[in-house]
């Protein structure tokens, strides 16, 4: 089966890639394992230097890489440039700090000496999505490679061009052959790879359905697993919130990447006293956004990545309206070529509606009125997901007390949720388990080995 790269702004085919056979994929595993022996012995200083070279390649070609990303999955080009820069940043972060994170830790015991060391596991399989096609690969690869692992990438089929360029970036940065390999395979081959003893662990970023499938397969073969799945992040606005920056952040947080972000704010939970003002200003700001060609820097939003994503979003909006939600602005797909959907605000969203119960993966915001702070917390936690959350209030102590009770992997106070190489990133509940980034992320794919000297 061919892997097809389609321009979502036009619906036109960009390129087709022949899928590798199971035999070819298995051979790639063997080559990655062979490369692991020398790569893990290369030393942290040398691996750090190569990560710095990868960062330099990224920065030197950020405009061309961003344009390719926009053409292949529809990201507004200025956001694509920022994504490439962030990939360079995570490489530089681990090049600078990774060695210290992996230093042995001495622990007092009744032995003459005892310590913990952090040794690489071997070949790690990464199953990655299309929505941040560079960042989500590099935020896994930078710490995994620095720790001494070798990496196999099974990228989303629709961003096969991005996958090939990422492999090329590592090659141009002088990484040894087969240390990082982009596979050209479909989802059906993932379990066969996990069954191979030489694949020691898997990480997946994607939907909860994909997470269940990979976790089930990994469980059968007892493979270490990290899952970063979907989200339906609450954006909680209390009565004393600073409204102007709050509204600006709300628009950015919901509409970033054309609304296709797991950590985008999706449910805007606003207490009664400030609801009318927030509703008015937020709706006006969303209505003023420009949608069009993602390569045109004057546009705020581009297309959704695939036609089926538009159809699913349209279904969710229509069903929510049928059940009583009201459209304040937008609400429809745009006619003509490409996979465009209007930036949309829904009001009166209640349990039982797709806009309340499901993840909306597109430029649609759900407005929910809360009676008070206690009610806002109840609504925030009334979801199967638990990735990120945002709280807006002028009272820091109040916000921190609320943050302690929100069921999420990250809580941002008076700011939009984002990933940062310095901070651990991941979720709870149906948003997955394990952590990426920071010292916590680099230690997900190492053997935490105890050494005791009597």
CATH of the domain at 194: 3.40.605.10
Task: Clarify whether residues 110 and 147 are in a common domain.
Answer: yes
Task: Clarify whether residues 355 and 239 are in a common domain.
Answer: yes
Task: Clarify whether residues 179 and 107 are in a common domain.
Answer: yes
Task: Clarify whether residues 195 and 57 are in a common domain.
Answer: yes
* Total Cβ atoms within 10 A of residue 225: 20
In sign, the C-alpha dihedral spanning 38, 39, 40, 42 is: positive
Task: Clarify whether residues 324 and 437 are in a common domain.
Answer: no
In sign, the C-alpha dihedral spanning 68, 71, 77, 80 is: negative
Q: Is residue 124 part of a domain?
A: yes
Domain count, the chain: 2
Model pTM score: 0.97
- As a three-state string, the secondary structure of 387-446 is CEEEEECCCHHHHHHHHCCCCCCEEEECCCCCCCCCCCECCCHHHEECCECHHHHHCCCE
- Per the residue annotation, which of 19, 262, 358, 436 is the catalytic one? 262
Bridge partners, residue 326, by sequence: 347
- DSSP 8-state symbol, 20: P
Contacts 24+ apart (CB under 8 A), 249-252: 249/390, 249/392, 249/415, 249/416, 250/278, 250/282, 250/285, 250/365, 251/282, 251/285, 251/286, 251/289, 252/416
Please give the residue range of the domain that contains residue 115: 2-229+429-453
Q: Is residue 418 part of a domain?
A: no
With 0-12 / 13-18 / 19 or more C-beta atoms within 10 angstroms meaning exposed / middle / buried, residue 453 is exposed
All residues at 6 or more sequence positions from 140 whose CB lies less than 8 Å from its CB, including other chains? 126, 128, 151, 203, 205, 436
Give the pLDDT means over successive 10-residue stretches in the chain (454 positions).
94 97 98 98 98 98 98 98 98 98 98 98 98 98 98 98 98 98 97 98 97 98 98 98 98 98 98 98 98 98 98 98 98 96 98 98 98 98 98 98 98 98 98 98 98 98
Phi-psi region of 212 (alpha: psi -120 to 50; beta: other; left: phi over 0): alpha
Task: Clarify whether residues 44 and 188 are in a common domain.
Answer: yes
Q: Is residue 420 part of a domain?
A: no
Q: Is residue 421 part of a domain?
A: no
Task: Clarify whether residues 23 and 6 are in a common domain.
Answer: yes
Task: Clarify whether residues 255 and 194 are in a common domain.
Answer: no
Task: Clarify whether residues 89 and 165 are in a common domain.
Answer: yes
**Three-class secondary structure of residue 120 per DSSP:** strand
Residue 373 appears among annotated catalytic residues? no
CA 204 centroid distance within chain: 10
Q: Is residue 77 part of a domain?
A: yes
Task: Clarify whether residues 277 and 140 are in a common domain.
Answer: no
Task: Clarify whether residues 21 and 148 are in a common domain.
Answer: yes
Q: Is residue 255 part of a domain?
A: yes
Asked whether 329 and 251 are in contact (CB, 8 A), the reply is no
Name the helix (H) or strand (E) containing 139.
helix 135-146
Residue 246 appears among annotated catalytic residues? no
Say what the pLDDT of residue 285 is: 98
Q: How many Cα atoms within 13 Å fall on the side-chain side of residue 413? A: 13
The candidate with the shortest Cα–Cα distance to 346, out of 408, 297, 286, is: 286
Task: Clarify whether residues 55 and 162 are in a common domain.
Answer: yes
Q: Is residue 423 part of a domain?
A: no
- Per the residue annotation, which of 228, 347, 407, 444 is the catalytic one? 228
Q: Is residue 95 part of a domain?
A: yes
CA distance 7 to 133: 14
CATH of the domain at 294: 3.40.309.10
Asked whether 417 and 261 are in contact (CB, 8 A), the reply is no
CA 303 centroid distance within chain: 18
Say what the pLDDT of residue 1 is: 74
With 0-12 / 13-18 / 19 or more C-beta atoms within 10 angstroms meaning exposed / middle / buried, residue 322 is exposed
In sign, the C-alpha dihedral spanning 350, 353, 356, 361 is: negative
């Amino acid at each position: 089966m061919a892997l097809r790269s389609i321009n979502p702004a036009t619906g036109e085919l960009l390129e087709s890639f022949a899928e590798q056979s199971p035999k070819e994929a298995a051979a790639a595993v063997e080559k990655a394992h062979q490369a692991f022996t020398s790569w893990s012995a290369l030393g942290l200083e040398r691996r750090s230097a190569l990560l710095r070279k990868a960062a330099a390649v990224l920065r030197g070609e950020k405009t061309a890489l961003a344009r390719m990303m926009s053409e292949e999955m529809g990201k507004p080009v200025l956001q694509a440039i920022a994504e490439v820069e962030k990939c360079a940043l995570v490489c530089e972060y681990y090049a600078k700090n990774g060695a210290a994170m992996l230093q042995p830790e001495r622990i007092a015991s009744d032995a003459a000496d005892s310590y913990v060391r952090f040794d690489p596991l071997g070949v790690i399989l990464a199953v990655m999505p299309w929505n941040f096609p560079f960042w989500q690969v590099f935020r896994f690869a930078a710490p995994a490679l620095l720790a001494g692992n070798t990496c196999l990438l099974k990228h989303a089929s629709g961003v096969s061009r991005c996958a090939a360029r990422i492999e090329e970036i590592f090659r141009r940065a002088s990484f040894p052959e087969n240390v990082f390999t982009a596979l050209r395979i479909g989802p059906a081959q993932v379990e066969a790879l996990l069954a191979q003893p030489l694949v020691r662990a898997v990480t997946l970023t994607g939907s909860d359905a994909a997470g269940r499938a990979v976790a089930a397969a990994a469980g059968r073969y007892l493979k270490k697993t990290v899952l970063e799945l979907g989200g339906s992040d609450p954006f909680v606005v209390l009565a004393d919130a600073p409204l102007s920056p709050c509204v600006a952040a709300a628009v950015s947080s919901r509409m970033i990447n054309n609304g296709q972000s797991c950590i985008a704010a999706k449910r805007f939970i606003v207490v009664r006293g400030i609801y009318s003002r927030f509703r008015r200003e937020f709706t006006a700001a969303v209505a003023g956004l420009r949608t069009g060609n993602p390569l045109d820097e004057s546009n705020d939003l581009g297309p959704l990545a695939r036609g089926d994503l538009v159809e699913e979003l349209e279904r969710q909006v229509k069903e929510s309206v049928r059940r009583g939600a009201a459209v304040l602005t937008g609400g429809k797909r745009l006619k003509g070529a490409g996979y465009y959907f209007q930036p949309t605000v829904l009001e009166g969203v209640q349990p039982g509606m797709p806009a309340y119960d499901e993840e909306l993966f597109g430029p649609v915001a759900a407005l929910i009125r809360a009676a008070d702070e206690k009610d806002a917390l109840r609504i925030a936690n009334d979801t199967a997901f638990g990735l990120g959350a945002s709280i807006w209030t002028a009272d820091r102590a109040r916000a921190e007390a609320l943050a302690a009770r929100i069921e999420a992997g990250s809580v941002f106070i008076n700011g939009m949720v984002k990933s940062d190489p310095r901070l651990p990133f991941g979720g709870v509940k149906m948003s997955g388990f394990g952590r990426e980034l920071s010292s916590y992320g680099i230690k997900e794919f190492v053997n935490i080995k105890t050494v005791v000297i009597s």
